[in-house]
Structure 1
Amino acid sequence: MNSIIFCLIITISVALYLWIRKIDEETILIFLLCAFCVMLSISFLEIIAKRYEIFDGIGDLDMSATGQVGDFIGGVVGTLVAAISIVLLYKTLTAQRESSNNQANEFAKSQNESRFFELLRIHRDNVSEIEFEYIENKSKIAKSRHFFVVAHKQLEFAFTEFDEYINHYKLSISDIYENEYLNKLKENKTIIDRNINDYILLAKMDVCYLVLFFGVGKNGKEEIIEILNAKYKNSFVNAIIDFYRMKPSGSSKYHKTWKALIKDNEFFNNYEAIAQEREDCENDETPNNDLAYGYNNQSAYYPDNYIKYYGGHRFRLGHYYRHLYQLVCFVHYNTELSPDEKKNYTRIIRGQLSDYEQILFFYNSISQLGRVWELASNNNESIDKNDHLISNYNLVKNISKRPLVNNIQTQSIYP
C-alpha cells in the first residue's frame, strides 16, 4: 500500500509540473495512463503475493503457485500491453497525419505567397510601363507614377467644365438620368447606407471619368454612349460629349482660339453657333465663318479636324485596373488565407499605390467601369457587405485629408 501511495504522489507531482509547463493535454493523458498502469500492476502484484503462497516460507519459490500466477499475469498483462500498443499506434498515426497536413498547409501557403508576389510584380511592371506625351507650354512625357498626376489634372479640368455646362443650361436630375436607372440607384442598399444622395455629383464623377478613360474621339464617344445607354438621357450624353470635344489638345493650332474663348467668357455665347457651323460644313455647305468674340472681333470658329484634349487613356489604365482587381480578388476570395493574412496582403497592395493612384482609383470605383469594387454589381444591384473590397481593406485609406471634387471626403463613400 505504501508503494502505491508513493507512486500516486509522484504521479500527481509530475502531472502538475507538466500542466504548469503548459504541455499539451494529450501528452499529460498518456503519462497518467502509463502511471495508472504501473500502479495497477504494483497493486496486483501485492495482492497476488499475499493471496498465493508463492514462497514456501524459507525463501524458495513454489513453482506450482508461480506457474498459475504467471499464466494469469501473462493473460492480463498481454491484454493491457496490446491495448497500450493500440493507443500508441493511434497516437503515431495521428501525429503523422498532423505532420502531413502541416506540410500540405505550408506548401499551399508558400504557393499563395509566390502567386501573390508574382501578381504584385506584374502590377509594378504595369505602372513602370505607363507613358504619356502631353503639352504644357512645351511637349512633356509623363512616365510611371507621374502619369497619374497628369491624368488627375485632366480629370479636374473635366469636373470644372462639367459644372460650367450644367450651370449654363440649368440642368436638373430629370434632365440627366433615365428614371429606371435613377430609381435603382435610390434603392441600392449600399448607396442608401452611405447616405449618397447627390445624384448630380454621382453623374459628374461617372461621366467625367469615362471621358478621361475613353476620350472623346469617334471611337471613345461611341463607347461612352453604349456604356451609359439606359442610364442617362441620350440627349444629355451626346450633348456633353460634343461639348468636351470642343476642347483641342495643347498641340493643336486651335488650342489658342479655344483658350481665348474661355478667357473672355465667350465660349458658351458661341458654342452652339460653332457646332452649327461644323454641321453645315459636314453637309458641304460653306460656313458663314463670321462668328466674332471679344473686343477685336476675332473669329470664334474653328473646324473639328484637330486632336482632342481628352484623347483617352484606355490603353494605359484598362489593363492597370483589371490587374489590380484581379490582385485584390486573389487575396479576398482565397480560402487558404485567414482574415488577418488577407488584411496583411492588402496592406502591401495599398502600400504600392501613390496618393494620385488612389485618387484616380477612387473615381474609377464610382464610375460604371469600377462600381463592382463595392457600390453596385453589373446589373446595378447592391453588393454583399462581405464583398466590399475597398471598405473592408481600406484601399483608399492613404489619400490625403484634403477634400476631393465638390469637397467630398473618401470616408463618406468608403467608411
Structure 2
Amino acid sequence: METYNLLLTCVLIVFVFLLLSLLSFKNYIDKYFKQVNKNYIITPLILIGITLIIISFFSPYYFTKKQIGDTLVFDEKTGWTGDTLGGIMNPFIALAGAVFTFIAFYIQKIANDDIKNQFKIQQFESQFYEMLRFHKDNVNSLYLTIKKKIVYPKSEEIIESSVQGKIVFEYMKIELSVIYMIAIKNFVDKTPKNLLNESYAIFFNGISETYRGKHTFFDEILELESYFDNFDFDNFNKKMRDGLNFNKDIIKMLEFPLFKGHAHQLAHYYRHLFQTVKFIANQDENFISYEKKRNYLRILRSQLSNTEQTLLFYNWYSKFGKQWEDNKNKFFTDYRMIHNLFNELLISHFKLEDIFDLDNGYRKEEDRESDSLFEFQDWG
C-alpha cells in the first residue's frame, strides 16, 4: 500500500477508535456533565455522522488512487464500479447509520428519563405535602388546660378552659423561661448552656416527688407546683412576684398545670418535624438540587411561628434535640430552619452571634445576592 493510503488508513482508524471510545465512556461522561447539559453528546454525534457520510463519498477516490492528483480508477485491482463504490463507501455509511441509530435511542432515553424524573418528583412532592399536612395536624392538636380562680364576696370558684394550637407554644415558652430563672437562682456556678439543659429537662419531662431533697432547684419547683395543684394561687403569685421577680403579665400566663412535662405532646411534634426536614435535606442533589431543597424547606418553615423556632432552638441547644445541628446534619445552618430567630426572642443569656458563625461555615444558594444565616442580618 502506498504511503499516502497508509497514512489515510491510520487517520481513519484513529477516528473510528475515538468514536468507539466516546460511546464506551458515554455513561461516565453523562454522569459528569449531567448538571451542565444532558443533551451535550447529541450535537457532536450528529456532526460525526454527517462527517462519516461526507467521507464515504470521497473514500473511493482516496482508497483507489496511488498518488495525489490521480483520477479515480475502476479495474480488476480495485473492483469494478459497483464493487468499488459499495465496498469502500458501505463501512462509512454503516458507521454513520450506527451513530444516527444511537442518537435516536439516546433521545428516546432522555425522554424516558424525563418522564421517570417527573414521576419521581410527583411522588416526592406528594409525600412532602402529606408530611406537611401531618405537621399542621400535630400543631392543631396541641392543648393546655387553663385554670383560673374566681373570688366572689362569699365564695370562690375554679374555672377551667383550654387553649389549642399555636398559642400553646407561647405558654410553653414562658414556662421554660420561669424554670430557667429558678435555675439561675439555685445553680450559681453553671454556664447558661448547662442551666438550659437542667431547665429543659424539667420542662420536657416534668418533675416528681423523687426529686425532693436532691437540690434546692428541684425543691423550689416542687413548692410552686404544690401551690398550683392545691389552688393556692395567692402564695403561688407571691412566690413568682417576690421570690422570682416576675411581673403580673407573665404570672397571668401561668394559669395552667406547671412542671408536668410536655414530652407527651412535643416528642411526637419534634420527631415528625425532624423526619420531614431530613426527608428533604437527604435527597440526592442530582434529583433535588440544594436550591430546590431550600425552597421546599421555606414552605415548611413558613408554618413555624417565631415562638416555635425559639423552642426548636432550645430543644437543640439543650442537647435534647442535638441532631438538628451536628457533624452530620446542618439543618439550622445549611437549611436555615430557625432563620427567623433573633436575640430578643431568646433568654438574654443567649446571643446567636456567640453560638453561630454568622458569616461563614454554611452553604449558600448560588446566584443569590443575600443568603444570610438569620433574617435579622438583613435588617440593616
TM-score of the superposed pair, with normalisation by structure 2: 0.66
Relative to 1, partners in 2 of residues 1:321 and 1:24: Cα closer, same or farther, differing over 3 Å? Answer: closer
Determine the C-alpha separation between the residues in 2 that align with 1:261 and 1:26.
79
| Structure with max Cα Rg | 1
**The residue matched to 2:80 in structure 1 has which SS?**
helix
CA distance in 2, matches of 1:266, 1:39: 93
1:168-207 alignment, distance < 5 Å:
171-173=188-190, 200-207=191-198
1: CA distance between counterparts of 2:296 and 2:305?
17
Paired residue for 1:108, among 98, 120, 141? 120
Q: Structure 1, residues 333-391: CA drift from partner, whole Å, max 9, x if none?
A: 222432222222222221110011111111111224212222xxxxxxxx42x522212
1:247 maps to what in 2?
224
Residues 1:319 and 2:268 are matched in the alignment: yes
Measure how far apart 1:31 and its partner are.
3.8
Aligned residues of 1:247 and 1:308 also touching (Cα < 8 A): no
- Number of equivalent positions: 292
AA in 1 matched with 2:195: K
Q: Per the alignment, do residues 266 and 203 of structure 1 end up closer, same or farther by CA in structure 2, a change over 3 Å counting?
A: closer
Q: Are the counterparts in 1 of residues 294 and 335 from structure 2 also a CA contact under 8 Å? A: yes
Question: 1:392 aligned to 2:341?
Answer: no
| Corresponding residue for residue 29 of structure 2 | none
Give 2:85's aligned residue.
73
User: For the residues of structure 2 that align with 1:352 and 1:94, how far apart are their CA atoms?
Assistant: 43
Matches for 1:4-403 after TM superposition, within 5 Å? 26-27=42-43, 29-31=45-47, 33-34=49-50, 37-38=53-54, 41=57, 44=60, 51=72, 68-135=80-147, 139-166=160-187, 171-173=188-190, 200-217=191-208, 235-236=214-215, 239-248=216-225, 250=228, 252-261=230-239, 263=241, 265=243, 309-335=258-284, 336-374=287-325, 383-384=326-327, 386-402=328-344
Q: 1:354 to 1:393 in 2, by over 3 A?
A: same
Supply the distance in 2 between the matched residues of 1:51 and 1:263 (Cα, whole angstroms). Answer: 112
Segments of 5+ residues of structure 2 without an aligned counterpart are 1-38, 150-158, 246-255, 358-380
Per the alignment, do residues 87 and 39 of structure 1 end up closer, same or farther by CA in structure 2, a change over 3 Å counting? closer
CA deviation after TM superposition for structure 1 residue 413, in Å = 2.3
Task: Provide, for residues 206-252 of structure 1, a one-character-per-residue CA deviation record: whole Å limited to 9, x for no partner.
Answer: 1212212222245xx67xx9xxxxxxxx944xx42232111136563
Distance (whole Å) between structure 2 residues aligned to residue 125 and residue 158 of structure 1: 28
Q: Give the Cα–Cα distance (whole angstroms) in 1 for the partners of residues 100 and 45 of structure 2.
A: 12
**Which residue identity does 1:390 align to in structure 2?**
F
Per-residue deviation, 1:126 = 0.3
CA separation in 2, counterparts of 1:366 and 1:395? 14
Question: Deviation digits for residues 98-135 of structure 1, max 9, x if unmatched?
Answer: 33333333222222211111111110110011111123
| Cα shift at 1:319 | 0.6
Partner SS, residue 311 of structure 1 = coil
AA at the equivalent of 1:130: L
1:404 corresponds to 2:346? yes
| 1:372–1:40 Cα change, 3 Å | closer
Query: Identity across aligned pairs (percent)?
Result: 23
Between the two structures, name the one with larger relative contact order (CA 8 Å, sep ≥ 6): 1
**How far apart in 2 are the matches of 1:32 and 1:124?**
57
Letter in 2 for 1:172: D
> CA–CA distance in 2 between the matches of 1:330 and 1:122?
14
2:373 is aligned to none
Verify the 8 A CA contact 1:132 1:141 in the aligned structure 2: yes
> 2:5 — aligned with what?
none
Secondary structure, aligned partner of 1:391:
coil
Check 1:142–1:413 CA distance in 2 against 1; reply closer, same or farther (3 A cut).
farther
Amino acid aligned to 2:90 = G
Check whether the contact 1:390–1:414 (CA below 8 A) recurs between aligned residues.
Answer: no
Q: What secondary structure sits across from 1:134 in the alignment?
A: strand
Distance 1:76 1:162, change over 3 A: same
Q: Which consecutive unaligned segments of at least 5 residues does structure 1 have?
A: 1-22, 55-63, 174-199, 226-233, 268-306, 375-382
**Moved >6 Å (runs of 4+):** 45-49
